[in-house]
């Protein structure tokens, strides 16, 4: 009462002197009135006013507190024109009753400053200018423990399934309700100015975030703990209802963490055969057609210029060289050893794709070789591209080798500059031609093929670390595996196991019943695309 009379006397004197009126309001701090967490006990969390806290009286902003305290005095100058009870808003990140709870919150030092992280509260003063805040946000208190050595926490991210928990919203004190959240997010991340050591026991308040009240009882809540070394721990819990002014405590016993994936020391360049990706200059390319023993030159300005459009032999049989100059530096060079029909291998650019209806038509016309450049059952190249490469070529094992069988150099690709590099991966799939023979078991060249549960058909990649290397590394990919598992979609093949190579050759090998009078019965074709090569970071 004495303080109130002194305040009134002071205001009257200021009015007489025509000086601005000053309003002084008193705010208590207790379990129901908080701006920072204090030292915790097992049963409750005490709260205190924090240095540099302030309040809003309507749209008027008070002075800042000089230090932490339990009982704060706020000065508003000039004073609001109204007299009597005042509407007080505690709002550090927004203005008046317009709150902002940020999606990125920070803990500095050992103290958790809830006000700086979007805490919001409301109170109405009594006749003597005294108030006790009623908090309108919710809080999540994290209490992780671990016996793992040297585990230092860098951040915590809490996410809901679909309900926004942070953002901008307006509080209506007349109805005690929040308006709709704008700029909302279903995720909030708490970071630390310095990583915090996690111990075997939870002592005190370790970390906390501010959220809007929300009913999460029908949702899952995911908590992601990220540590100083980049490792993580993920915790999934059933949601609960977040109540204004109340704290949800989430404990976590961390027994193992997910180690981070090291950042690669390289970048990937990809050979995709797509128009617009080429870096080579236009040039004249010689095409050789084995089936009619003719040759012609074509001007190549983009990858699609390689695709045959008017060959009397359907989609291909044109042998040529290509070079991804200025990009991956990969090149296909025609093998020099000839087979019975003219060449021992080719790699043709294509955008032809085949379906079961196409295969049935070609089968009826006895012209399966017309579909050697078709990738089976896809919509184009790998990863949504249009073009790809269809390669032919193989080397029969000795027991099937005859004068008609291809012998000698296997087709593949090489680095034109002969610099050894790691080929990270590429995507492969079956051609329509190979698929048709596997499934139908008929071939005009050397017999029939019985497709069983034990049948296999695979690609073997040979990686050479120099042009003179005679002991290559190898990797295998099954286009047809036991159990009649046949590849009918673009599939990633890891080639990094070959190590640094100058060239890679590919052979196609079948199980015993896949060979006939003239060697391999299954057409020695496969399609590939999106060849990724590792280059040092610049």
SS3 sequence, 451-487? Answer: CCCCCCEEEEEEEECCCCCCCCEEEEEEEEECCCEEC
User: Which of 76-85, 93-102, 342-351 is predicted most confidently?
Assistant: 93-102
Average pLDDT over residues 312-336: 77
Is residue 1 predicted with pLDDT exceeding 70? Answer: no
CA distances from 222 to 2, 129, 153 (A): 53, 43, 17
| Rg of the chain over all Cα atoms, to the nearest angstrom | 37
Q: Is 362 helix (H, G, I), strand (E, B) or coil?
A: helix
Alpha helices in 336-448 (DSSP H): 356-364, 432-440
Any idea which fold 2-254 has? Immunoglobulin-like (2.60.40)
- Structure confidence at residue 408 (pLDDT): 59
Interval 329-346: pLDDT, tens: 999 987 655 544 434 467
Domain extents for the chain? 2-254, 267-536
What is the per-residue pLDDT for 447? 57
Distance between CA 422 and CA 415 in Å, rounded?
11
**Cα separation, 525 vs 528, whole angstroms:** 10
* CATH tag, 267-536: 2.60.120.1350
Of 48-62, 152-166, 324-338, 340-354, which has the strongest mean pLDDT? 152-166
Residue 396: the pLDDT is 73
Handedness of CA 432, 434, 435, 437 (dihedral sign): positive
Closest CA to 269 of 331, 323, 324: 324
pLDDT band at 315 (very low <50, low <70, confident <90, very high): very low
Say whether 2 sits in a helix, a strand or coil: helix
Write down the pLDDT at residue 310: 61
Same fold, 2-254 and 267-536: no
**Banded pLDDT at 362 (limits 50, 70, 90):** low
| Pairwise pLDDT comparison (83 vs 311), residue with the higher score | 83
- Residue 440 confidence class, pLDDT cut points 50, 70, 90: confident
- What is the rounded average pLDDT for all residues in the chain? 83
CA dist 228 and 201 (Å) reads 19
Least confident of 102-111, 313-322, 361-370: 361-370
Q: Answer with the residue of higher pLDDT: 96 or 128.
A: 96
Q: Coil, strand, or helix at residue 70?
A: coil
**What's the rounded mean pLDDT across residues 40-67?**
78
How crowded is residue 180: how many other Cβ atoms within 10 Å of its Cβ?
Answer: 10
Query: How far is 447 from 425, CA to CA, in rounded Å?
Result: 35
Alpha carbon 310 to its chain centroid, in Å, reads 43
Higher pLDDT: 193 or 172? It is: 172
More confident residue, 405 or 512: 512
- Strands (E) in 204-314, as ranges, are 207-211, 214-215, 220-227, 232-238, 241-242, 247-254, 266-271, 283-289, 294-300
Give me the pLDDT at residue 398, please. 62
Rounded mean pLDDT, 523-531 = 94
Report the candidate in 20, 5, 26, 165 with the shortest Cα–Cα distance to residue 80.
20
CB atoms within 10 A of CB 377: 18
Supply the pLDDT for residue 292: 65
The rounded percent of the chain whose pLDDT value lies above 90 is 49
Give the confidence band of 322 by pLDDT, cuts at 50, 70, 90.
very high
What pLDDT digit, counting tens, does each position of 471-517 carry? 999 999 999 999 999 999 999 999 999 999 999 999 999 887 777 76
């Amino acid at each position: 009462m004495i303080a109130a009379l002194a305040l009134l006397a002071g205001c009257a004197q200021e009015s007489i002197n025509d000086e601005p009126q000053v309003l002084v309001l008193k705010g208590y701090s207790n379990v129901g009135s908080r701006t920072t967490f204090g030292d915790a006990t097992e049963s409750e969390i005490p709260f205190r006013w924090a240095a540099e806290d302030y309040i809003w009286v309507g749209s008027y902003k008070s002075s800042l507190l000089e230090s932490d305290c339990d009982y704060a005095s706020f000065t508003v100058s000039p004073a609001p024109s109204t007299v009597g009870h005042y509407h007080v808003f505690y709002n550090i990140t927004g203005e008046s009753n317009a709150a902002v709870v940020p999606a990125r919150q920070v803990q500095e030092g050992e103290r958790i400053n809830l006000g700086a992280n979007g805490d919001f509260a409301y109170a109405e003063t009594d006749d003597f200018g005294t108030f006790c805040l009623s908090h309108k946000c919710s809080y999540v208190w994290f209490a992780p423990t671990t016996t793992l050595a040297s585990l230092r926490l860098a951040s915590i991210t809490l996410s809901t399934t679909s309900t926004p928990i942070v953002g901008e919203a307006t509080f209506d004190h007349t109805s005690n309700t929040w308006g709709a959240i704008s700029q909302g997010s279903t995720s909030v991340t708490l970071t630390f100015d310095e990583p915090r050591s996690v111990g075997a026991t939870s002592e005190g308040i370790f970390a906390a975030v501010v959220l809007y009240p929300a009913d999460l009882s029908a949702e899952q809540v995911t908590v992601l703990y990220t540590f100083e070394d980049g490792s993580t721990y993920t915790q999934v819990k059933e949601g609960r209802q977040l109540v204004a002014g109340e704290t949800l405590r989430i404990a976590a016993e961390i027994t193992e963490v997910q180690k981070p994936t090291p950042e690669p020391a390289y970048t990937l360049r990809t050979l995709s055969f797509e128009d617009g990706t080429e870096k080579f200059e236009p040039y004249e390319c010689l095409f050789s057609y084995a089936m009619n023993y003719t040759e012609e030159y074509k001007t190549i300005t983009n990858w699609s210029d390689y695709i045959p459009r008017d060959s009397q032999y359907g989609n291909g049989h044109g042998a040529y060289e290509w070079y991804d100059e200025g990009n991956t530096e990969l090149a296909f060079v025609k093998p020099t050893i000839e087979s019975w029909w003219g060449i021992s291998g080719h790699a043709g650019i294509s955008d032809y794709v085949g379906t079961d209806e196409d295969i049935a038509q070609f089968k009826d016309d006895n012209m399966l070789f017309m579909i050697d450049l078709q990738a089976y059952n896809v919509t184009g190249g790998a990863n949504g591209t249009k073009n790809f490469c269809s390669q032919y070529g193989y080397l029969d094992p000795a027991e099937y080798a005859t004068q008609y069988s291809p012998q000698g150099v296997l087709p593949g690709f090489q680095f034109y500059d002969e610099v050894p590099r790691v080929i990270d991966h590429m995507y492969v799939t079956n051609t329509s031609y190979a698929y048709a023979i596997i499934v139908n078991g008929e071939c005009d060249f050397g017999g029939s093929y019985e497709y069983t549960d034990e049948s296999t058909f695979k690609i073997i990649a040979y990686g050479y670390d120099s042009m003179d290397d005679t002991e290559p590394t190898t990797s295998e990919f099954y286009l047809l595996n036991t159990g009649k598992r046949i590849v009918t979609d673009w599939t990633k093949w890891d080639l990094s196991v070959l190590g640094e190579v100058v060239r890679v050759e590919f052979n196609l090998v079948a199980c015993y019943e896949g060979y006939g009078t003239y060697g391999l019965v299954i057409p020695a074709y496969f399609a590939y695309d999106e060849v990724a090569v590792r280059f040092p970071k610049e």
